Structure 1
């Protein structure tokens, strides 16, 4: 049985590192977008206090990470190809 080759299995260590960096950029971008959408903020009337506000950023970051791992918005892939093109030239 032959294992199919994909971009992930044939990528160089540099490509894998570049792809991971691009994914982290997308994660941070999405986390900021979720913050702008006020996701995770406590309602004023029934808030969870200072602790909830402090840890809301962790929740947004993890949600953004899950979104990116699920395909995201395509930003990581675009960044990867743009950076790869600059390296290869």
Structure 2
């Protein structure tokens, strides 16, 4: 059973990564990471709504089925605005780390 134990460090995002070069760059990375998290959440929410019937006294009929994907996308974006699931933090941290590694190897690189 101990073979299946997950290290707590694998579940905790590395938020203590190096900082980006500028505020604007950090803001762009954050926006991109949040868009990625919203897209991911949208894909995870879609199966939850697939079996729901749109007929009945309180159903929206065909229109509900047509607009459901937009509603799911809006729910995912709202979830990210409310704090999300932490995926954006991990993505930003990784983007900053990769950017720092790249900038450290480029000035001294000879090829």
- Alignment TM class, shorter chain as reference: 0.7 to 0.9
Equivalent in the alignment of 2:85: 73
Structure 1 vs Structure 2 CA RMSD: 1.9
TM-score, length of structure 1 as denominator length: 0.76
Quick one: higher RCO (CA 8 Å, sep 6+), 1 or 2?
A: 2
Matched, 1:52 2:89: no
Unaligned 5+ segments in structure 1 are 1-10
Question: 1:42·1:48 contact (CA, 8 Å) conserved in 2?
Answer: no
Question: Which runs of 5 or more residues in structure 2 are unaligned?
Answer: 1-21, 102-111
Correspondence 1:33-44 to 2 at 5 A: 33-38=44-49, 42-43=52-53
Corresponding residue pairs, total:
78
**3-state SS of paired residue (2:53):** coil
Q: What are the Cα deviations for residues 50-73 of structure 1, in whole angstroms up to 9, with x where unaligned?
A: 321111111111111111111110
